[in-house]
Structure 1
Amino acid sequence: MAKDDERDAPPTIGSGYIGAQMTRALRALQEAANREQRQSAQARVDRWSRLLDGKALDLLQHGSRTPIEGAPAWATPEVVTGGFATGALLAGGPLLDWERHLAAQVLDTGTGNERQRLNAWCLGDEGMAWLHARLQQGDYRVGVPEESALLTVAWLLQQGAHAQVEAILAAIVGWFPSLRFYPEPVPLAAGTEKLPAGGDFTLFVETAGAVVAQLQRRTSSARVKTQHHVLMQWRPLYATAVGLLLQTWRDGQPCMQFPQDWLPDAKQAVATFRTLRRQSPARKASRHRDVELLEYLALCVDGVVLTPHQRSRVGQIVNDHAGKHGVPDSDTYAARMRFEQESVAAPPHAALARIAANRLRLFPADAGVVDVASLQRDVQPDEATSLVAAGSVLPRTLRQHVARCQQGTVEQLIEAGLVPSLESLALLLPQLGARVAERGFTDPAHGRLYAACRTAFDARRSLLLLNLQSQVRMAELPWAAGLESERQRGTPAAQRMLGDVVALALRHYPETPLPNPLLRQLRSLADSAGADLPLAEELAADIFMGAFAPGFAAAARHAGRFTAGSLYARYYGIDSMMLERLGEPRPRTGRRSQHRVDDLAGLCLARADLAPGQAGPAANGAVIEQVQILTTHNLAVLFDRFQLDAVLAEELPDMIQRGFSAVCTDLQQVAPHWHAWLTARKRGAYAWRQMVFFLSRLDDAGLAQSMATLRSLFAAQPSGFQRRFAPAMDGLVVASQGGQPAQVLLGWSPQSWLRPYTPEGYLSSHPSEWTEFCDVGRLVTVEDYQIVENAYLDAIRRFCVAAGVDSLCIHSLERRESRDYHEGQPLDLDGIERVARDALRNVIWCKLVSETAEVHFGYDYYMYLVSSVDAESALLEADPLLNIQRYRSPYLREEEE
């Protein structure tokens, strides 16, 4: 039996994850292709270096809500992927440019201690007047919560709240030398939208200024310029040389006869060749077939008699070219040449991006744009340049990029395709929460200050926490009480907005459980609405401590009452009376008291068929899934609180169908190597759980109709999937008829009946065949892997050239913390290669899309090249080790199929 002190020993966090992230950061720095990428990668390396230094010096305590030695909980830490604090504070560090400028304006000459002197200056008469002016005019920005502290002091002094001011200063004065507590002054943008008196709030995914900066960073790829040069000059010259040498054929041999009018044309071709070669240094040493053939043509023009070997080589090159592409004077050859040249004749995307950026500069940089259609129109005569003609059309990738600053309601942005996931929705809600909260103040200056501080606090990254600790709350800021004074909670606008957001999230993303970032934002909105909304976040399986906070037991009891006797309770075998008893305390049996949270953990262990003490990520995941089932992962409390049975009554049947389709998609389209299958099964099981809950909210007639629809959809699935998935479908049917199923679909259970076996007995690939990057060093050598990876990248380049695209955009991005990529990010050919390499190595997953071409990355190292134009001929010259065949990509959007 374990001793009490052993059970109470604090957990430790290994350094393996941190080391792996540092390795990725260093690799990104090594592979950076331009100055911007190098700067971004260097910043990542610096962050992880600070973390490792702090860990080595024992200055960091990861897993604690105060991970930096000596720093208070309210100080905003720099946090990297995984929730690790680096040891830096975001309000500290070197002076920012705007701080230096402010210091030069208001401080006496001299250097050193500028931050401390600026903090002290703000408490003097001149500085306090400056703060009051910022409050009234609203011309300031709060990047981190600390920057609102002295503004709060200024406002409280206006109200005569001297005791509160003294308390705030007592907490922060000691940090004056290192942290900034003053705001950044910014010009108030002309035309900045004022809050409407009523109705919907308008938001934007990115500000106009942010989109301008992104557009300005777009540059023409060197490869694009080379492609243009080759297709417009070298390729026609090569065709001319092939045509001329075909005229010299006699008795099956080239260069055996020269027609009377042949020499002038040949001399002109050779002169052009020599000029191009002088202008193209890279071609001087090239042994590409075009250069080689033109060199032989030059010998013929100079009167040199070719050797038999040289004539044989000319014949081989000409015959190979004519056999693959036809003879140069044929209609098919001319059509191919015309298509290739038209594909590169369009204006460079970088030049078009500059035009779009110039249009955006006319709008306030820190806001969105109401009418983006005017920004997406064709190039106007006064915008034309030497590279871009009037009437040129902005490509879809640029139009989509500009649309990211579109201003609209949440629903409008979702319908415009600018909010592709619930995580993206969570990024919008701080704007919404701040503006709703701002209306809770009678003093506009006070409302603006509260909204600014709250927006900055909502951007604070969560820490990795152990032992059921909670994240730092805004109320813990020493100046929070001053900000909260006179705030009116529970305004009708806030209450209505909270319910609308919840309904929108479930209506548009019915297959996805609400992720933690969205739950935090909903909790923040609930605070503005004066509502107590007990939401349970998803726990991480790798750091789960085997116990649940009391809020989980309360959520389980509420869900048990809400779902008692329903299809959901029958399907998952939930005993609502047992859940009610979770609130009964156990008698004390030893040094450590037994809390109700232990009851819930024990129940989840039993439901997962695990023994007490059984641990590890897989066991933890199974326990966490059971608590999500028992709590409905927040669906019960949301449906109950916002009366969603009535609000979503008309949408529920469609939500159920979409959830079922997502399950079928996840469990069929995922390639079957083991890790990928685990991920897909978990995603499918979670979508299934959502669907079962929605089914349970229907009346008898609605349930019968939806079950008939699901049976029809299931019958339309491939027969192999029907056989595998039949136990899950049969269980749902049994539960819908009042029984308890024998099989329940779970995400963290082996369930061998669901695995897609082949007749040979394994998942689609033989165990000895490598199928992903993690097999390097085990089933494939690094050298052999790189050969295959480079062949894939070469195929993508050839495909893009043939499809006439020089830019693709990131779409449906997953694992957003990696590489600083973002949804909708445009990529030139160099960027495409970098992202494709990361996708092939499982660093990220995404699709690369444009108007005419897409690249999709499947599991098991499958790659799908999709084009609306004929680009197949380009792949004929791809590396022969690739197995290329026609196939419909399973990742096509429905409207494209």
Structure 2
Amino acid sequence: MSEDIRGGYAVEQWARAFVTALTHEDEATRRRADERVRRWRDVVRGIAGGSLTPGSRAPVAGLPAWVTPVVVHGGFATGEAAAGGPLRAHELAVCERFGLPERRRALMAHHLAGDGLAELLRMLDTGEYRVDLPEHAALPVLAWLLRAGDEDAARELFAEIAPFADRLGFAPAPAPPAGDPAVVWRGTAGQAAAALAAREPNGRVEAMREALAVWNPFADDLLRWWLDGDLGESADEPWHERGVALLERYRLLAANHTRCAKHRRPKENLAVLRHALEEVVAGRELTPRARGLLRHAVASMVRRRGEPGSARHGELRSRQAAQLDVPAHHTTAREVVRRLASLPPDRGVPDVAELCAPVDGVPVPAAIRRVVARALAGTVEELVDAGVVPSAEVLARLVPRIAATTTAAAYPDEALRTLVAATCLAFRNRRSLLLLDLRHQVRVDELPWVRAIARHRARGEGTRHDALAALRRLGELALDAFPGTTLPNTLVRELAELGREAEVDLPWVEQLAADIYEGRFSPKFSRAAEQAGDHLRGSLYARHYALRQGPVGDLDALCRGRSGVSGWSVAGNHAIIEQAQVLTTHNLVTLVARVGVRGDWPALARRAFDTAVRFAGRAPTSTRPQATAKLARDAWRHTVFFLSEAGSAAPPAWLRDHDGPLADQVGELLRCYGPARANRSGEPGS
């Protein structure tokens, strides 16, 4: 396993990207694959040359753990530092403005004296900056420390970051103030505009519009011509001249309108009439077969639509003309893009209804509204209620702003509070590394500039209370919005961060990757399992899953025994890890018994059950049947937990009456019902 981690996996990913870059039919996909080839090549060469150590908290030789690495799929560092590379546009502008050499060390020196230091302090006071990477907060923190008179902390911070001054950028970019920290968005106005601007005309829709606007009027005129001439029986010179003009018109239309191809298909009525027209104009007699086809086509057209000029025919063409008055989707999208252009491109949108107001009196299509709605700005609860948050993973991407603001609230100085919040948000974008030997990811308080301001933080009861309130709020939101979904690791990390701010020692457990599972769990998993066993003693959940009480002992051996797995395999690791989720309830007991999350347990149980049934029904035909079945088992586990919290001695009717997917599990659970246990709710931190 370790040998595969050190090289095999990286080589495989490199090869896959190389094949995609050579063979994929889409040019944009090939370009993206070229970039993946470059990065995986760097990974493979770094591992082979010893400059990269997969599984380490500091995988890049010469860079400390706090430096943000560039990370590719699977948690492999490429050897690059995210804050390195060429100077950014605003950095080049500073160099040009002050006549500095285009080198990072010169920029650092500039920012620590004179105009550069004054500009950093102005940014701090106005909030007019953007921290894209955690490193970009280092110099503003140093400037703040100097202004606060904390020269010792400033000197220590400078000593720690100065050795990397020629490789990393430590200053933020100018930008408008961040705005209300309670307001979040899934996408930005700029992203919505780019997605809509990329919309191309729909080929089928445009062909239909061409048929209505071009070929239907021509077909009407051609049919009228044949009817006026009694299908050629009453031909005269004016009639013949009209036919010549019609044929010339057809040739022009066919050359300039190529989307609709029906007029070229020999069996189509229009093609039959046009072929007969060509014969007559050329002075040739129609063959008996051609005349028969002509008569059939004319009769069919009149029977279906009526003669041109009749009331029935006029009503049909009026309805079709109304369809043409409706703007095409890509035309409407361009108008919405124009409206979006008036908003800041890096923020969410305040009002979807206003941006999607009717265009020329025609409602904006739902497909375009959905793109704009993804950029809606509001509180997390408002976005969930608006249906903009479709999964727990998306929810996890929205909550860092709340956690960052809560963390920053402990700093009395307003400028420092804003800077810390920006730093925490940037840190949340740091991709997780592949770690071995139960190591933990780098935490925000390990950053040198965050450590440097630790003494300026005021920890008080109010701060802890606010952090606990935010933790409870997010926990209740997650369970209520997605009761059948296991908390994703990104959300678990946010909850754990809030728990640390609340100074509550809670055993948050993550979902583990089966392909790198090393056969042992960290101590917090055992704590979570013991906590769950105590809280669920005598409950429906405990009976259904045969939980043991008291200390769990060797959790690794216990999970392996419950799963029936021997030896090492990815499939076996999945089974072992799933048993750990059963025993720990994967943070459900932590949320309910320790944080104090409350919910409508019967309603949550029913919704989690519906999720379980949905996934169980999909699993047999899914392209990923094992993963889909795992989602069903997760939702089923949540169902049993919520039913246990409801504490009813009798199963609900919807469970008793179920005979679809999961019927066997339902039957087993029904046999576990007995006297309800008395619910016990521990105080947070108890």
User: TM-score per shorter chain, which class?
Assistant: 0.7 to 0.9
Q: What is the identity, as a one-letter code, of the residue corresponding to 1:174?
A: P
Of the structure 1 ranges 274-283 and 725-734, higher mean CA displacement relative to structure 2 is found in 274-283
Shift of 1:550: 1.4
Q: How many residues align?
A: 666
- Say whether 1:472 aligns with 2:452: no
Shift of 1:70: 2.7
Q: What is the rounded CA distance, in whole Å, between the counterparts of 2:150 and 2:204 in structure 1?
A: 65
Q: What is the rounded CA distance, in whole Å, between the counterparts of 1:419 and 1:66 in structure 2?
A: 35
- Does the Cα contact within 8 Å between 2:207 and 2:259 map onto a contact in 1? no
Match of 1:104 in 2: 96
Match of 1:792 in 2: none
2:656 to 693, 711, 719: 711
Match of 2:168 in 1: 179
Identity over aligned pairs, percent? 32
- Does the Cα contact within 8 Å between 1:25 and 1:44 map onto a contact in 2? yes
Match of 2:596 in 1: 643
- 3-state SS of the aligned residue for 1:636? helix
Q: What is the rounded CA distance, in whole Å, between the counterparts of 1:444 and 1:360 in structure 2?
A: 32
- Say whether 1:412 aligns with 2:382: yes
Distance 1:99 1:636, change over 3 A: same
1:18 to 3, 13, 27: 13
- 3-state SS of the aligned residue for 1:697? helix
Shift of 1:456: 0.3
Shift of 1:500: 1.0
Q: What is the rounded CA distance, in whole Å, between the counterparts of 1:256 and 1:409 in structure 2?
A: 73
- Does the Cα contact within 8 Å between 2:10 and 2:44 map onto a contact in 1? no
Shift of 1:328: 7.1
Query: Residues 863-874 of structure 1: matches in 2 within 5 Å?
Result: none
Q: What is the identity, as a one-letter code, of the residue corresponding to 1:175?
A: F
- Say whether 1:63 aligns with 2:55: yes
Distance 1:422 1:320, change over 3 A: farther
Match of 1:519 in 2: 492
Q: What is the rounded CA distance, in whole Å, between the counterparts of 1:460 and 1:332 in structure 2?
A: 66
Q: What is the rounded CA distance, in whole Å, between the counterparts of 2:427 and 2:473 in structure 1?
A: 23
- Does the Cα contact within 8 Å between 2:433 and 2:441 map onto a contact in 1? yes
Query: Residues 432-581 of structure 1: matches in 2 within 5 Å?
Result: 432-489=402-459, 490-577=463-550, 580-581=551-552
Match of 2:587 in 1: 634
- Does the Cα contact within 8 Å between 1:79 and 1:85 map onto a contact in 2? yes
Shift of 1:158: 1.5
- Say whether 1:677 aligns with 2:656: no
Q: What is the identity, as a one-letter code, of the residue corresponding to 1:525?
A: L
Shift of 1:133: 1.1
Match of 2:215 in 1: 234
Q: What is the rounded CA distance, in whole Å, between the counterparts of 1:474 and 1:316 in structure 2?
A: 82
Shift of 1:661: 1.5
- Does the Cα contact within 8 Å between 1:242 and 1:318 map onto a contact in 2? no
Match of 2:281 in 1: 302
Match of 1:736 in 2: 673
Distance 1:156 1:342, change over 3 A: same
Match of 1:624 in 2: 577
Q: What is the identity, as a one-letter code, of the residue corresponding to 1:433?
A: A
- Does the Cα contact within 8 Å between 1:422 and 1:514 map onto a contact in 2? yes
Match of 1:147 in 2: 136
- 3-state SS of the aligned residue for 2:71? strand
Distance 1:140 1:44, change over 3 A: farther
Using CA pairs below 8 Å that are at least 6 residues apart, which structure has the higher relative contact order?
2
2:327 to 329, 343, 347: 347
Q: What is the identity, as a one-letter code, of the residue corresponding to 2:583?
A: L
Query: Residues 147-226 of structure 1: matches in 2 within 5 Å?
Result: 147-188=136-177, 193-194=179-180, 201-218=182-199, 220=201, 225=206
2:664 to 719, 727, 737: 727
- Say whether 1:94 aligns with 2:47: no
Distance 1:9 1:658, change over 3 A: closer
Q: What is the rounded CA distance, in whole Å, between the counterparts of 1:341 and 1:463 in structure 2?
A: 59
Distance 1:213 1:12, change over 3 A: closer
- Does the Cα contact within 8 Å between 2:210 and 2:257 map onto a contact in 1? no
- Does the Cα contact within 8 Å between 1:144 and 1:456 map onto a contact in 2? yes
- Does the Cα contact within 8 Å between 1:241 and 1:293 map onto a contact in 2? no
- 3-state SS of the aligned residue for 1:45? helix
Shift of 1:311: 2.1
Shift of 1:655: 1.0
- Does the Cα contact within 8 Å between 1:296 and 1:314 map onto a contact in 2? no
Q: What is the identity, as a one-letter code, of the residue corresponding to 1:277?
A: A
- 3-state SS of the aligned residue for 2:633? helix
Q: What is the rounded CA distance, in whole Å, between the counterparts of 2:316 and 2:630 in structure 1?
A: 47
Cα distance per residue 1:301-341 (max 9 Å; x no partner): 42432564982895599499869977776999877766665
2:250 to 266, 273, 291: 273
TM-score normalised per structure 1: 0.68
- Does the Cα contact within 8 Å between 1:270 and 1:294 map onto a contact in 2? no
Distance 1:152 1:316, change over 3 A: farther
TM-score normalised per structure 2: 0.87
Q: What is the rounded CA distance, in whole Å, between the counterparts of 2:20 and 2:121 in structure 1?
A: 44
Q: What is the rounded CA distance, in whole Å, between the counterparts of 1:134 and 1:299 in structure 2?
A: 77
Shift of 1:276: 1.2
- Does the Cα contact within 8 Å between 2:273 and 2:297 map onto a contact in 1? no
Structure 1 gap ranges (5+): 1-5, 33-37, 196-200, 250-254, 380-388, 583-598, 740-897
Shift of 1:232: 1.5
Cα distance per residue 1:274-311 (max 9 Å; x no partner): 22134247899995446854652442342432564982
2:39 to 50, 71, 81: 50
2:611 to 662, 665, 669: 662
Shift of 1:94: 2.0
As a proportion of its length, which structure holds more helix?
A: 2
- Does the Cα contact within 8 Å between 1:51 and 1:85 map onto a contact in 2? no
Match of 1:893 in 2: none
Distance 1:369 1:295, change over 3 A: closer
Of the structure 1 ranges 235-244 and 475-484, higher mean CA displacement relative to structure 2 is found in 235-244
Match of 2:636 in 1: 688
Q: What is the rounded CA distance, in whole Å, between the counterparts of 1:363 and 1:461 in structure 2?
A: 30
Distance 1:560 1:266, change over 3 A: same
Give me the CA root mean square deviation.
3.5
Match of 2:559 in 1: 604
Cα distance per residue 1:153-192 (max 9 Å; x no partner): 111111222222222222222222221111101244xxx7
Structure 2 gap ranges (5+): 677-686
Q: What is the identity, as a one-letter code, of the residue corresponding to 2:538?
A: G
